[in-house]
A and B are shown apart, each in its own frame.
With several copies, the nearest count.
Chain A
Amino acid sequence: MTKVLKIFSDATLEAMEEEMQRDPSVFVYGEDIIKQGGIWGQFKGLHNKFGDRVRDTPISETALVGAGVGAALAGGRPVVDLHYADFIGITMDEILNQMAKAHYMFGGQGKVPLVLRAPDGVFPHAAAQHSQSLETWFVSIPGIKVVIPSTPENGKGLLKAAIRSNNPVIFFENKKLFSVKGLVRDSEVITPLDKAEIVHKGEALTIVSYGYFLGEVLKAVEIAEKKHSSRIEVIDLRSINPIDEETIIKSVKKTGKLIIAHEAIKIGGVGSEVAAIVAEKAFDYIKKPIIRVGAKFSPLPFSPQLEESVTTSSKDVLAAIEKLLV
Chain B
Amino acid sequence: MTLNKDKLIDIYYNMLRIRRFEETVKKKHGKQIIGPAHLYIGEEAVATGVCSNLLREDLVTSTHRGHGHTLAKGANLRKAFAELYGKETGYCKGRGGSMHLAAFDVGMLGANGVVGGGFNIATGAALTQQILNKKNVVVCFFGDGASNRGTFHEAVNLAALWNLPVIYVCENNGWASTTNSLDSTAVVNIADRARGYGIKGITVDGNDVFAVYNAAQKLIKAARNGDGPAILEAKTYRIEGHFLGDPQKYRTASEVEEWKLNNDPIERFLKAIRATGEVSEPEIENVKRRIEDELEDAVQFAERSIVPTPEDALEDVYAKEAAR
B115/A109 in contact, CB under 8 A: no
Complex CA–CA separation, A99 to B312 (angstroms): 21
Interface residues of B in 172-215 (CB under 8 A from A): 176-179, 183-185
Complex CA–CA separation, A65 to B184 (angstroms): 16
Which residues of chain B have C-beta atoms less than 8 A from A55's C-beta? 162
B155/A66 in contact, CB under 8 A: yes
Complex CA–CA separation, A35 to B242 (angstroms): 13
B132/A106 in contact, CB under 8 A: no
Complex CA–CA separation, A86 to B36 (angstroms): 15
Complex CA–CA separation, A97 to B100 (angstroms): 11
State which of B10-18, B118-126, B230-238, B256-264 sits at the interface with chain A: B118-126
Complex CA–CA separation, A97 to B161 (angstroms): 26
A58 touching B131 in the complex, CB below 8 Å, given contacts A67-B120, A106-B102, A299-B317: no
B281 within 8 Å of A (CB atoms) = no
Interface residues of A in 60-87 (CB under 8 A from B): 60-63, 65-76, 78, 86-87
A70 touching B177 in the complex, CB below 8 Å, given contacts A94-B120, A302-B94, A302-B100: no
- B100 CB to nearest A CB, Å: 4
Interface residues of B in 82-135 (CB under 8 A from A): 86-87, 90-97, 99-100, 102-105, 109-110, 112-117, 119-129, 131-132
Which residues of chain B have C-beta atoms less than 8 A from A191's C-beta? none
B128/A74 in contact, CB under 8 A: yes
Query: Taking chain B's interface residues, is the majority helix, strand, or loop, or is none over half, making it mixed?
Result: loop
B104/A296 in contact, CB under 8 A: no
Complex CA–CA separation, A166 to B161 (angstroms): 29
A73 touching B109 in the complex, CB below 8 Å, given contacts A36-B247, A93-B114, A143-B317: yes
B96/A59 in contact, CB under 8 A: no
Q: Which residue of A lies closest to B153 (CB)?
A: A60
A309/B157 in contact, CB under 8 A: no
Instruction: Select A106's contact among B59, B95, B176, B307, beta carbons within 8 Å.
Output: B95
A52 within 8 Å of B (CB atoms) = yes
B217 within 8 Å of A (CB atoms) = no
A66 touching B151 in the complex, CB below 8 Å, given contacts A105-B95, A106-B96: yes
Instruction: Select A301's contact among B112, B123, B129, B313, beta carbons within 8 Å.
Output: B313
B48 within 8 Å of A (CB atoms) = no
A303/B94 in contact, CB under 8 A: yes
A60/B313 in contact, CB under 8 A: no
State which of B19-27, B141-149, B267-275, B285-293 sits at the interface with chain A: B141-149
A306 touching B313 in the complex, CB below 8 Å, given contacts A36-B249, A57-B158: yes
- A301 CB to nearest B CB, Å: 5
Which residues of chain A have C-beta atoms less than 8 A from B121's C-beta? 66-67, 69-70, 73, 98
Which residues of chain A have C-beta atoms less than 8 A from B145's C-beta? 58-59
A176 within 8 Å of B (CB atoms) = no
A127/B100 in contact, CB under 8 A: yes
Q: Which residue of B lies closest to A165 (CB)?
A: B321
Complex CA–CA separation, A127 to B93 (angstroms): 13
- A131 CB to nearest B CB, Å: 10
A35 touching B307 in the complex, CB below 8 Å, given contacts A60-B157, A129-B114, A130-B36: no
Interface residues of A in 84-123 (CB under 8 A from B): 86-87, 90, 93-94, 97-98, 102-113, 123
A109/B34 in contact, CB under 8 A: no
Complex CA–CA separation, A202 to B322 (angstroms): 35
B131/A107 in contact, CB under 8 A: no
B86/A110 in contact, CB under 8 A: no
B308 within 8 Å of A (CB atoms) = yes
Which residues of chain A have C-beta atoms less than 8 A from B120's C-beta? 62-63, 65-67, 69-70, 94, 98
B303 within 8 Å of A (CB atoms) = no
B178/A36 in contact, CB under 8 A: yes
Please report the number of residue pairs spanning A and B whose Cβ atoms sit closer than 8 angstroms: 278
Complex CA–CA separation, A111 to B110 (angstroms): 12
B52 within 8 Å of A (CB atoms) = no
Complex CA–CA separation, A78 to B128 (angstroms): 9
Which residues of chain A have C-beta atoms less than 8 A from B155's C-beta? 63, 66-67
Complex CA–CA separation, A4 to B208 (angstroms): 56
A302 touching B35 in the complex, CB below 8 Å, given contacts A73-B121, A296-B313: yes
Complex CA–CA separation, A169 to B247 (angstroms): 32
Q: Which residue of B lies closest to A94 (CB)?
A: B120
A166/B250 in contact, CB under 8 A: no
A103/B249 in contact, CB under 8 A: no
B255 within 8 Å of A (CB atoms) = no
B324 within 8 Å of A (CB atoms) = yes
Instruction: Select B99's contact among A32, A61, A130, A305, beta carbons within 8 Å.
Output: A130
B150 within 8 Å of A (CB atoms) = yes
B131/A57 in contact, CB under 8 A: no
A164 within 8 Å of B (CB atoms) = yes
A142 within 8 Å of B (CB atoms) = yes
Instruction: Select A75's contact among B94, B128, B308, beta carbons within 8 Å.
Output: B128
B310 within 8 Å of A (CB atoms) = yes
A63/B95 in contact, CB under 8 A: no
B320 within 8 Å of A (CB atoms) = yes
- B130 CB to nearest A CB, Å: 8
B6 within 8 Å of A (CB atoms) = no
Apart from A125-B35, A130-B99, A165-B321, 9 more pairs, CB < 8 Å: A36-B250, A58-B185, A70-B120, A74-B138, A143-B317, A166-B320, A297-B314, A305-B307, A306-B308
Q: Which residues of A contact B (CB under 8 A)?
A: 24-25, 27, 31-32, 34-36, 52-53, 55-63, 65-76, 78, 86-87, 90, 93-94, 97-98, 102-113, 123-130, 142-143, 145, 164-167, 296-299, 301-306, 308-310
